[in-house]
Chain A
């Protein structure tokens, strides 16, 4: 399967198989995104057996934003592309705090009414909602 190189944008590799759609959601790339996006699902991988890859043209993802991807796919690697070359490469790490993204698993949380979400990671790696105090696993937030 051949996908064109991009001149400027982000390539997200080593995404857990089946999680590409959630990565797109985290990056808020939907049907109105104006540039090319390639989504590869269940790509054979020596390390992971199968993985997903997302190539996004025209969007450079910040490290802070990229780290949210770790909620659904720890170990995903981010390649920032400029002038058709890799400018920066890093592996996502679970963020200590998630703010303004994700949703609380508690349907009765005040954030379900539209308040901006905020979660903090606790010692055991689970996240606590700043508002309703409900604890959730990382993947439950997205």
Chain B
């Protein structure tokens, strides 16, 4: 079973993965994947996704082989298709990250082994979305009915698009907060509203007093034509400790990481800050994803 896009998954599939991840995290489950080999093919940089997949493989009794683009035949001009076809013969499943959107789907179409999308350009990062859902459910005990604020550059962040889709599936209430010009594509928002009857509120000023979950992503300064405007916006959309005075006491702050300066360092030590725990949740969730991909 390939894991390419959150769009391909039904709610029951996601719940199955979240339940399985919970069992792995609690040490209540033994992986059936002993002896299998995972290939990690990251055509662009990654810290958390790559390492947590490799850790998940090892904790599941698997071995992994790692493809390094800088020392591979890519340097000789080998195509993406030829590369993945070759690696397919060395492993039981492949995790692929590639800057081109649709690359994981292309690999899944031409390979017989399961392909897991580790991020394809600005399109999808389904296992990050599963980690986000897992982290929300673990922190709050549920997803349905929660007020989730997505905060930052909602135009370019793939994690936000996928998460908004999944939150619609799980009947959460979503507030989108982004600077002018970095809003989520209105056609995409309309699609979510139509498909899931998702309640979406759009704001262009930092405000999260009603939020149960605040999901932050980086505002990419390089997206702005005017550096002064970039500086002004990133400063206004930087979350400071004082901003949390009006927030709910049990607010949960998540971030896909890496964070640069969009969250003040003093917040890291607060009980609401759960983003490092979220990153650590990547291991049991990806153990569950590997089992889903190889055993479904």
Chain A positions within 8 Å of B, measured between CB atoms, are 104, 106, 108-113, 115, 129-135
For residue B161, which residue of chain A has the nearest CB? Answer: A133
A111 touches B187 (CB 8 A): no
Q: CA separation between A34 and B157, bound complex, in Å?
A: 50
B80 at the interface (CB under 8 A from A): yes
A131 touches B105 (CB 8 A): yes
Q: CA separation between A103 and B191, bound complex, in Å?
A: 23
Given contacts A108-B101, A113-B100, contact A131 B7 (CB under 8 A): no
- Determine the chain A residues whose CB is within 8 A of the CB of B7 once the complex forms: 133
B61 at the interface (CB under 8 A from A): no
A132 touches B123 (CB 8 A): yes
Q: With both chains docked as a complex, state the minimum distance between the C-beta of B162 and any C-beta of chain A, in angstroms.
A: 10
Given contacts A108-B101, A110-B102, contact A132 B5 (CB under 8 A): no
Q: Which 9 A-B pairs rank lowest in CB-CB distance, beginning with the nearest?
A: A131-B102, A132-B101, A132-B102, A110-B102, A110-B100, A110-B103, A131-B105, A110-B106, A108-B121
- Determine the chain B residues whose CB is within 8 A of the CB of A113 once the complex forms: 80, 100
Q: With both chains docked as a complex, state the minimum distance between the C-beta of B111 and any C-beta of chain A, in angstroms.
A: 14
- Determine the chain A residues whose CB is within 8 A of the CB of B124 once the complex forms: 133
B206 at the interface (CB under 8 A from A): no
- Determine the chain B residues whose CB is within 8 A of the CB of A130 once the complex forms: 102, 105
- Determine the chain B residues whose CB is within 8 A of the CB of A134 once the complex forms: 101
- Determine the chain B residues whose CB is within 8 A of the CB of A110 once the complex forms: 80, 98, 100-103, 105-106, 120
Q: Would you mind naming 9 contact pairs between A and B with Cβ atoms under 8 Å apart?
A: A109-B100, A109-B101, A110-B120, A115-B102, A130-B105, A132-B101, A132-B105, A133-B102, A135-B187
CB contact between A129 and one of B99, B102, B122, B191 (< 8 Å): that residue: B102
- Determine the chain A residues whose CB is within 8 A of the CB of B99 once the complex forms: 108
- Determine the chain B residues whose CB is within 8 A of the CB of A111 once the complex forms: 102
A108 touches B187 (CB 8 A): no
- Known pairs A110-B103, A133-B123. 9 more at Cβ < 8 A? A104-B102, A108-B100, A109-B102, A110-B102, A110-B106, A113-B80, A132-B120, A133-B5, A133-B102
For residue B103, which residue of chain A has the nearest CB? Answer: A110
| Residue among A109, A111, A131, A134 with max Cβ neighbours from chain B (10 Å) | A131
Q: CA separation between A20 and B261, bound complex, in Å?
A: 54
Q: CA separation between A135 and B195, bound complex, in Å?
A: 15
- Determine the chain B residues whose CB is within 8 A of the CB of A133 once the complex forms: 5, 7, 101-102, 123-124
Q: With both chains docked as a complex, state the minimum distance between the C-beta of A111 and any C-beta of chain B, in angstroms.
A: 7
Kindly supply a per-residue 1/0 record for chain B positions 113-132, scoring 1 wherever the CB is within 8 Å of any chain A CB and 0 otherwise.
00000001111100000000
- Determine the chain A residues whose CB is within 8 A of the CB of B81 once the complex forms: 115
- Determine the chain A residues whose CB is within 8 A of the CB of B106 once the complex forms: 110, 115, 131
Q: With both chains docked as a complex, state the minimum distance between the C-beta of B267 and any C-beta of chain A, in angstroms.
A: 33
Q: CA separation between A115 and B120, bound complex, in Å?
A: 15
B80 touches A106 (CB 8 A): no
Q: CA separation between A54 and B121, bound complex, in Å?
A: 41
Q: With both chains docked as a complex, state the minimum distance between the C-beta of B82 and any C-beta of chain A, in angstroms.
A: 12
- Determine the chain B residues whose CB is within 8 A of the CB of A108 once the complex forms: 99-101, 121-122
> Which B85-106 residues have a C-beta within 8 angstroms of A?
98-103, 105-106
- Determine the chain A residues whose CB is within 8 A of the CB of B103 once the complex forms: 110, 131
Q: With both chains docked as a complex, state the minimum distance between the C-beta of B121 and any C-beta of chain A, in angstroms.
A: 5
For residue A115, which residue of chain B has the nearest CB? Answer: B106
- Determine the chain B residues whose CB is within 8 A of the CB of A132 once the complex forms: 101-102, 105, 120-121, 123
Q: With both chains docked as a complex, state the minimum distance between the C-beta of B195 and any C-beta of chain A, in angstroms.
A: 10
Kindly supply a per-residue 1/0 record for chain B positions 1-25, scoring 1 wherever the CB is within 8 Å of any chain A CB and 0 otherwise.
0000101000000000000000000
Q: With both chains docked as a complex, state the minimum distance between the C-beta of A71 and any C-beta of chain B, in angstroms.
A: 19
| Residue among B98, B100, B120 with max Cβ neighbours from chain A (10 Å) | B100
Q: CA separation between A104 and B101, bound complex, in Å?
A: 11
Q: CA separation between A112 and B103, bound complex, in Å?
A: 11
> Which B158-194 residues have a C-beta within 8 angstroms of A?
187, 191
- Determine the chain B residues whose CB is within 8 A of the CB of A104 once the complex forms: 102
For residue A122, which residue of chain B has the nearest CB? Answer: B191
